[in-house]
Amino acid sequence: MSEFRLSQRVQVNPHVIRSTGNKVSNRNLKARQMLGKYRIRRRVGAGAFATVYEAYDTIEGIRVALKVPHRELLGKHSLAEIHREVRLTARLEHENILPLRNAMMIDDYFIIATPLGQQTLTDRLRYRLGPATALSYAEQLIDALAYAHEKRIIHCDIKPCNVIIFDGHELRLADFGIAKVAMKTRTIAGSGQGTVGYIAPEQAMGKPSFRSDVFSLGLVMVRMFSGHLPEWPFDWPPQGADRLRRTLSRDFVDFLRRSIEVRERKRFRDGVQMQKAFQRLAPKALRGRNGRGAA
Ligand SMILES: Nc1ncnc2c1ncn2[C@@H]1O[C@H](COP(=O)(O)OP(=O)(O)O)[C@@H](O)[C@H]1O
Ligand SMILES: [Mg+2]
């Protein structure tokens, strides 16, 4: 059981609290409570859009993550939008994208069930990542993004806590499209901009595009390889650049730099272009013996 233990820390997005006038009006689900065939085990965390619980599927005999959107997001308007986004996600079938197991109304709750991961990339980043691991993680995330962009779907919220880790090394990108609903709702509620963190400058101004996903993933990659998250105004070289130069080829450092260009047009057009460049550079990306660098 312990291998499924996630960080107990509950993450509450301050913007949610502000956007609802200091009242997060969620009836919390209790441990052992039944919801259809699911038995709640515990609350795993909360984001801008939903509370996430670990639950046991009493029919299939497996553990799942149940995502329960915050009640205040479930006005009629946004329920229709959530349905649309759920349908969108249901179409995505890729080994590095978190699959939907189920989405339904149970007892007045709207519930999205997905496989339960071990931890998020946020949890993993509390410890240093070796360059070989970071390269494998980067590849998996780029593959997921290229696939989604081929299907003309923008993620809109690529960040480490939306990357779920399974079996130590398999990454799955979560929350496709759902961010868009949450973002809109936040805007309607007039709470201003979301947490800047991993959001591209143009997206923060309300104009997300494929290139914004490229930027966010670029930040995640720089964070993984350098140990530091670049911040506005995203000048180059970023903090931790010495580690990049020590462990990565010059071309690969340029690849990272190009992913987080503030000027949209200088970035890769989309995940597909990013993937092409990555595949060309990855075999020689790592400095040091056997390309293993300081792994
Ligand atoms: N499939 C999953 N498996 C394990 N933990 C998950 C899963 N989905 C979400 N979580 C956890 O729940 C937390 C809240 O998720 P979410 O509502 O998507 O907010 P955010 O992505 O902003 O953190 C995540 O940070 C993560 O710790
Ligand atoms: Mg999420």
Which one is predicted more confidently, 233 or 13?
233
Question: What residue's CA is closest to ligand 1, atom 18?
Answer: 47
Domain boundaries along the sequence of the chain:
2-115, 119-292
Which of 101, 90, 108, 48 is CA-nearest to residue 73? 48
Give me the long-range contacts of 291-295 (CB less than 8 A, separation at least 24): 292/132, 293/130, 293/131, 293/132, 293/247, 293/248, 294/130, 294/131, 294/246, 294/247, 295/130, 295/131, 295/132, 295/133
52 ligand 1 Cβ < 6 A: yes
Question: What residue's CA is closest to ligand 1, atom 11?
Answer: 45
Report pLDDT for 182.
Answer: 60
* Residues 144, 173 contacting (CB under 8 angstroms): yes
> Averaged over 131-137, what is the pLDDT?
98
Share of the chain above pLDDT 90, in %: 66
CA 32 to centroid of ligand 1, rounded, Å: 20
Strand 34-35 and strand 163-166: pairing?
Answer: unpaired
Average pLDDT, the chain: 85
Q: Just give the CATH number of 119-292.
A: 1.10.510.10
* Residues 49, 180 contacting (CB under 8 angstroms): no
Q: Just give the CATH number of 2-115.
A: 3.30.200.20
Best residue among 4, 42, 57, 120 to mutate for probing ligand 1's pocket (most ligand atoms within 8 Å of CB) is: 120
Neighbour-count burial for 201-222, b at 16+ CB within 10 Å, e otherwise: bbbeeeebbbbbbbbbbbbbbb
Report pLDDT for 184.
Answer: 60
Report pLDDT for 195.
Answer: 52
